[in-house]
Structure 1
Amino acid sequence: MNAVSPSELLRVLPQARRFARAITGEQPSGDALVAEALRSPLPELPARLALYAAIVRAAPKRDHAKDALTSRQRQLLLLMALEDLSSDEAALVLGIDSNLALAEADAARATLRTVTATDVLVIEDEPIIAMDVQRLVEACGHRVVGVAASEADAVRIAAASPPGLILADINLGRGGDGSVAVSRILQTLKVPVIFVTAYPERLLTSEGIEPAFIISKPFEPLALAIATYQAVTAGRSPLA
């Protein structure tokens, strides 16, 4: 049994909650997955890796013939792209050989390039950052239906061209708050949301409703690719 101290667990808990939500596609089920993982003895790994491994072990296996990625491939990319683990660390978490982890990750990256695209609304007030995000979104195969620099712009664009995904910054400067814009849009549309922020810990406070998908700035194209795939599929297999 891993003798991880309570203080160590508390320190890595926000990262573990982010990982679990990205697996399941929503806050309640992700947090329930973390709670289930904590009820069992943790493996003999450093605190952060041990908690990730316990989450993987507790996560339901939902592989389906119509899935573009297997559960293990999803988990690998989430660990490496969103959680910034090395391939060796991800292999330890999943309990597989490092060479197999690399091969699976390469296959998953290739598959992501062929995944069906969706329409994306980008909410970002910094023009240069917005252009970069749009470029990355389009490089992932998605279509940008609009770039909003304010709450009002975001609501207007979403009403005119309903997106299949929203990619939103939080601080829009004089344009308001990205989370408020998203809340207004979600009153009339049911659409997955990814928040992009330089301060992800501010969105993982255990207070009120928190986002299921968070990418830390600056981010790599792969992080965006796997996050959009998970958000669009809600971390679940398609219906038969």
Structure 2
Amino acid sequence: MSSDGQDDLAAGVAANLPYLRRYARALTGSQDAGDRYAAATLEAILADSSMLAGTPARVGLFRAFHAVWSSAGGMVDEPPESRVMDVAQKRMSSLTANTREALLLHSVEDFSHAEVGQIMQVTESEAKELIEIAMREMEGALSGKVLVIEDEPIIAMDIASIVESMGHEVTGNPRTRAEAVKMAKANRPDLVLADIQLADNSSGIDAVNDILAEFPDLPVVFITAFPERLLTGERPEPAFLISKPYSEEQIWSAVSQAMFFSSTETLAA
């Protein structure tokens, strides 16, 4: 490969690495486990750059990840004493193989059915079927109370409508850090869905950390217009992250996946 070709390849991988981290973390339910798989993918590509051949860099990167993920048996590599990971493994074992992967690739990472097929090495129709199976198996399986931390009223109403259509109860819509903590303490949620920037310029991350100090292991989904700023791998970061503008399917998938794992990690502000 020419020097220019290598530079283009490296640039393509670098541009899409934050989104691979997001996918890996949502798939495993853990920043540490997800980042280990992402790092193993980069090592595999360095050893054999032909893994990216024949497809756009974004598709090739995720396809390389799946080669690593599949070779490990799709397991979450966490210490056995981790209660959350133990629960997650048991839940995953009850689902049809490869369905969560296909759902996340399509709904959160916005790959087409054909691209999901390329990544997972299945046909387009098989990819579509895997996504449909995932939605059927996860729909209604877990429901609970959701706190929506969002300072834009129209967005908050839209998110609440989507969450309620899934069978969840929205317990409140705080617009600031202080309101969020107060509402969470008054009515403990089963999941928190939070914007990063709040009405009084307070931080949604700080609000979530305050809530997690009271209720450890609550699942959290963050929404932000700048996901790459929270996917650097340089500090504790969210396992579940949605980009603005979002789609109904992205909210559905991220909330379902987060409740599926019933875990999150405290973030460094």
Task: Give me the TM-score of the superposition, normalised by structure 1.
Answer: 0.89
Say which is worse superposed, 41-50 or 134-143, in terms of deviation: 41-50
The structure 1 segments of at least 4 consecutive aligned residues displaced by more than 4 Å after TM superposition are: 1-4, 62-68
- 1:7, 1:219 → 2: CA distance? 26
Amino acid in structure 1 at the alignment position of 2:10? P
Question: How many residues in Structure 1 have an aligned counterpart in Structure 2?
Answer: 236
Tell me if structure 1 keeps the 8 A contact 2:12–2:57: yes
State the AA in 2 paired with 1:39: E
Contact residue 142 and residue 256 of structure 2 kept, 8 A = no
Distance 1:192 1:235, change over 3 A: closer
What TM-score results when the alignment is normalised by the length of structure 2?
A: 0.80
Letter in 2 for 1:200: P
2:71 is the counterpart of 1:39: no
Match 1:213 to one of 224, 233, 240: 240
Moved more, 103-112 or 19-28: 103-112
Once structures 1 and 2 are overlaid, which stretch shifts more, 36-45 or 122-131? 36-45
Q: Aligned residue for 2:116?
A: 90
Root-mean-square deviation (Å): 2.3
Looking at structure 1, the residues matched to 92 and 117 of structure 2 have their Cα atoms a distance apart, in angstroms, of: 25
Tell me if structure 2 keeps the 8 A contact 1:73–1:105.
yes
Instruction: Summarize the alignment of residues 194-205 of structure 1 with structure 2, pairs less than 5 Å apart.
Output: 194-205=221-232
Does 2:185 correspond to 1:159? Answer: yes
The answer (yes or no) to whether the contact 1:123–1:148 under 8 Å persists in 2 is: yes
Please give the secondary structure, in 2, of the residue aligned with 1:171. coil
Q: Secondary structure at the match of 1:208?
A: coil
CA distance in 2, matches of 1:70, 1:157: 37
SS of the residue aligned with 2:242? Answer: strand
Larger mean Cα displacement after TM superposition, 131-140 or 50-59: 50-59
- Name the CA distance, whole Å, in 2 between partners of 1:216 and 1:71: 27
**Matched residue of 2:37: which SS?**
helix
**Of 222, 229, 235, the match for 2:256:** 229
Structure with greater contact order relative to length (CA < 8 Å, sep ≥ 6): 1
The percentage of counterpart residues that share the same residue type is: 39
